[in-house]
Chain A
Amino acid sequence: MAVLNKWGAIDIVADQWISTGIMRIDFQRPAGLVKTADYCVFCQPLVSGQRCVVTGMYSTYFTVEVRNGSGSLANLDFSFQMVGSNY
């Protein structure tokens, strides 16, 4: 279970569950730019009742918390879209 679909003008260089239900997604901007976290992430679960929330946005990665229908942290599929300044 992991990221199912991702959209945005960035490369995902790593996605890993650092603990159950908590994923860290490392990305790279075009031309290797590293900037402050001037972007937004929209993520959504794929099954009714599940939840995912962006819990932190930083210069080279962001974190997502995913919960199942019972409210417990779980490694479940989700999709996300990133929007922001690349230049």
Chain B
Amino acid sequence: MARIIPLQAKITMQQTINERGDFYPACIFSNDTFVSHFEASLIVAKGLLDPEAIEYSTIESVLTGLSEYRVWKANKPKTELPTEITEHFSLLPDSDCNIEMLFQPYNNLPTEAILYSHGEVLNIVGAYKMAMEKADAEQSEAIQPLYDSFSRFLTDWELNQQATGSYFATEKNL
């Protein structure tokens, strides 16, 4: 399951292993607009998949994760939520870094970070791909931008892994 966090100064958690031993090296900067587009694409894609398919479960898992995040955020005292984001930009990697690509199409300031493991991104791309094979023009319009972004993100990420031996694309920058 993905982890979503409000942006805060120390986003180095993307390099760490959680208590269960899972890596969450993919950090996708996000905001409400992005999440709204992301959810819409997932809902449309889900409708195109066989409920018995693993890709269907993948999408439901991502949607549930986003939903659970809302519950967590709504019940967290506001004083514990960071409000200042300007300092976070100094932590961002170079402008051509892959982690920004998902965010750029919507041209808005990020307020949160979504953390996914490599396997999760792989599954999301796979689910989008399967849905795209059945999508009509209107459905493609909802799915294609996210599919393209995630595919490019994954490609760059894997190229980086091949070049550096690490999935932590931003390790040196942080």
Residues of A at the B interface (CB closer than 8 Å) are 18-20, 22, 24, 32-37, 55-56, 58-60, 63, 65, 73
| Binary interface encoding of chain B residues 65-94 relative to chain A, with 1 for a CB under 8 A from any of its CBs, else 0 | 011101101110000000000000000000
11 contacts between A and B (CB under 8 A): A18-B40, A19-B47, A19-B139, A34-B71, A34-B74, A37-B67, A56-B60, A58-B64, A59-B67, A59-B71, A60-B70
In the complex, which residues 39-70 of chain B have their Cβ closer than 8 Å to any Cβ of chain A? Answer: 39-40, 43-44, 46-47, 60, 63-64, 66-68, 70
Task: State the CA gap A58–B134 with chains docked (Å).
Answer: 25
Those 4 A-B pairs whose CB atoms lie nearest each other, nearest first: A34-B74, A58-B67, A59-B67, A18-B40
A18 and B46 in contact (CB under 8 A), knowing A34-B71, A34-B74, A36-B68? no
A56 touches B43 (CB 8 A): yes
Please, which residue of chain A has its CB at the minimum distance from the CB of B41? A18
* Number of CB contacts from chain A to chain B under 8 A: 52
**B43 touching A24 by the CB < 8 A rule?**
yes
A36 and B74 alpha carbons, distance in the complex (Å): 11
Chain A residues, Cβ within 8 Å of B43: 18-19, 22, 24, 55-56, 63
Q: How far is the CA of A31 from the CA of B100 in the complex (A)?
A: 36
Which B residues form the contact surface with A (CB < 8 A)? Answer: 39-40, 43-44, 46-47, 60, 63-64, 66-68, 70-71, 73-75, 138-139, 142
Q: Add 17 more A-B contacts to A19-B142, A58-B67 (CB < 8 A).
A: A18-B43, A18-B142, A19-B43, A19-B44, A19-B138, A22-B47, A24-B43, A34-B75, A36-B71, A55-B43, A55-B47, A58-B63, A58-B64, A58-B66, A59-B67, A59-B70, A65-B47
The secondary-structure label for the interface of chain B is helix
Contacts of A65 in B (CB 8 A): 47
**B67 lies within 8 A of A60 (CB):** yes
- Bound-state CA distance A56–B68 (Å) is 14
Min CB–CB distance B64 → chain A (angstroms): 7
Report B131 CB to chain A, min CB distance, Å.
11
